[in-house]
Amino acid sequence: MSEISDRSLSYDREFLRELMVRMMTVNRFEERIHELFGQGLVHGTMHLCIGEEATGVGTGAALKKDDYMLATHRGHGHALGRGVDIRAMMAEMLGRAGGTNHGKGGSMHICDFDNGILGANGIVGANGPIACGAALTIKMKKIPDRVCAAYLGDGASNEGAILESMNLAAAWDLPVMFILTNNTYGLSTPIERAVRNTDLAQRAAAFGFPAWECDGNDVLAVYETVKKARDYVIAEKGPVLVVEHTYRTSGHSKSDKNLYRSQEEIRYWEEQNPIIRFRSFLLEKGIFSQEEIDGMGKEADQAVQDAVDYGMSCPEPFADSLERDVYAGEYAGVYGGGFDAGFGTGREA
């Protein structure tokens, strides 16, 4: 069901601007935390999505405000594409109390439950089953016009959790959108070495639901495809698969030395970056001038700078309540024995 947009749709200028600013913001955010990591200000690891900016932004724009969304470990673009507060996100990268997860989650677990963002997941493929559950709530509570979108990569497509959840979503007619961003590599393993049939869109038919594919580096194609697929979910009350073909030009994580692919390949895809392509589109169609687009870049730079300033101004989290924060509800004081139990570890001595 691959469809190429004829672009006869007339877009709102402000909407196109918003897409560009968001993609630029994702790109700057990634570049900046990479830099902060180098300076020792961000610790741990992170999975950057440079080159994939159109997937999170285009998909996010096609979802509705109340839709649920579950991101992957490479989820910064998914979160920013759905409008997570960039300042709280940056504070989380910096491990600060003002972060989206108060410093307890970090890069792989960005969440915003007030806005339907049910958290990014560090376990590849694990969000598929959880998406089924969120969609089950939509179905059981008969909530109109809402879907649950779960991102996954080509790597996750071979996880049992994903295959099981595709089956469950189909068997139960759940409003789940499986958003497969095929970025060509599962860490360092190219897709053709991971599967015999690299046409991942065909998987949907085996489970009895449709798939759409698009050029994942074309933000408008992503937007239109996801929008169409979402309409299908609402109308037919069943799941869909959307495959967005893209390429990760940044390394898998902080420790990636790019030993598994050539510099030529990376350079080729850097030229295909969705921001470069969208800029060409906007200029060719005469929608925005070069000057206006440069202004969008500055806006993105400013948003990221403000986020860094905010994050750096947030205090470090205190470690005085770690055991208390494990469970919802009244603290029973009988678990770890550290702070309240009065028995146990000797820490009280």
Partner 1 sequence: MREITYREAVREAMCEEMRRDESVFLMGEDIGAYGGGFGVSAGMLKEFGPERIRETPISETAFVGAGVGAAITGMRPIVDLMFSDFMAVCYDQIINQAAKMHFMFAGKVSVPMVIRGAAGGGTGAAAQHSQSLEQMYCHVPGLKVVVPSTPYDAKGLLKTAIRDDNPVIFLEQKKLYSVKGAVPEEEYTIPLGKADVKREGSDVTLITYSRMVPYCLAAAERLAGEGIEAEVLDLRSLSPLDRPAIVASVQKTHRAVVVHEAVEFAGFGGEIVSVIMDSDAFYQLKAPVKRVGGLFCPVPFSPNLEKETFPTTERIEAAVRAVCKGQRSGGRE
Structure tokens at 4: 């190429």
CA–CA separation, 211 vs 102, rounded Å? 38
Told to check if 113 binds partner 1 by CB under 8 A, we report: yes
By CB under 8 A, residue 65 contacts partner 1? no
CB-CB contact of 75 with 110 (8 Å): yes
Q: Where are the alpha helices (DSSP H) in 86-183?
A: 86-93, 127-140, 160-171
Provide, rounded to whole angstroms, the least separation between the CB of residue 334 and partner 1: 4
One of 25, 100, 107, 249 touching partner 1 (CB under 8 A): 100
Nearer to partner 1 by Cβ, of 113 and 268: the residue is 113
Query: Among 119, 175, 251, 311, which residue interacts with partner 1 (rule: CB under 8 A)?
Result: 119
Q: Which stretch binds partner 1 (CB under 8 A): 13-21, 29-37, 157-165, 192-200?
A: 157-165
Structure token digits, residue 132:
């089924």
Site stretch for partner 1 (CB under 8 A), options 103-111, 177-185, 200-208, 227-235: 103-111
Question: Applying CB under 8 A, does 227 fall inside the site for partner 1?
Answer: no
Span near partner 1 by CB under 8 A; candidates 16-24, 47-55, 94-102, 199-207: 94-102
Q: How many residues bind partner 1 (CB under 8 A)?
A: 53
CB of 314 to partner 1, least distance (A): 13
* Of 230, 271, 281, the residue nearest 16 (C-alpha): 281
* Residue 128 contacts partner 1 per CB under 8 A: yes
Binding status of residue 129 toward partner 1 by CB under 8 A:
yes
Residue 206 tokens, joined: 């085996």
Q: Choose which of 11, 31, 109, 297 interacts with partner 1 (CB under 8 A).
A: 109
102 binds partner 1 (CB under 8 A): yes
Q: What is the sign of the dihedral through the CA atoms of 199, 201, 205 and 207? A: positive
- Three-state SS for 272? coil
Instruction: Supply the minimum distance, in Å, between the C-beta of residue 337 and partner 1.
Output: 8
Q: Which of 305, 254, 217, 307 minimizes the C-alpha distance to 23?
A: 217
Closest distance to partner 1 from the beta carbon of 183 (Å): 23
315 lies in the binding site for partner 1 (CB under 8 A): no
Q: Which is nearer to partner 1, 141 or 196 (CB)?
A: 141
CB of 1 to partner 1, least distance (A): 25
How many other CB atoms are there within 10 angstroms of residue 96's CB atom? 20
Residue in 84, 77, 164 with CA at minimum distance from that of residue 117: 84
Smaller CB separation from partner 1, 127 or 249: 127
Task: Give the span between the Cα atoms of 80 and 23, in whole angstroms.
Answer: 9
Residue type, 275: I
| Whether the Cβ atoms of residue 244 and residue 59 lie closer than 8 Å to each other | yes
Cβ proximity to partner 1: between 260 and 327 the closer is 327
Residues 6+ away with beta carbon under 8 Å from 91: 97, 98, 99, 100, 307, 310, 311, 314
Instruction: Tell whether residue 147 is a contact of partner 1 (CB under 8 A).
Output: no
Identity of residue 193: R
Which of the residues 170 through 189 are near partner 1 (CB under 8 A)? 171
Sole residue written with tokens 């146990």: 344
Q: What secondary structure letter does DSSP report for 10?
A: P
Q: Which is nearer to partner 1, 58 or 128 (CB)?
A: 128
Residue for token digits 């939509």?
A: 138
At 261, the amino acid letter reads R
Which residues of the shown chain bind partner 1 in the complex (CB under 8 A)?
68, 100-102, 104-105, 109, 111, 113-114, 118-119, 121-123, 126, 128-138, 140-141, 148, 160-161, 164-165, 167-168, 171, 323, 325-329, 332, 334-337, 341, 343-346
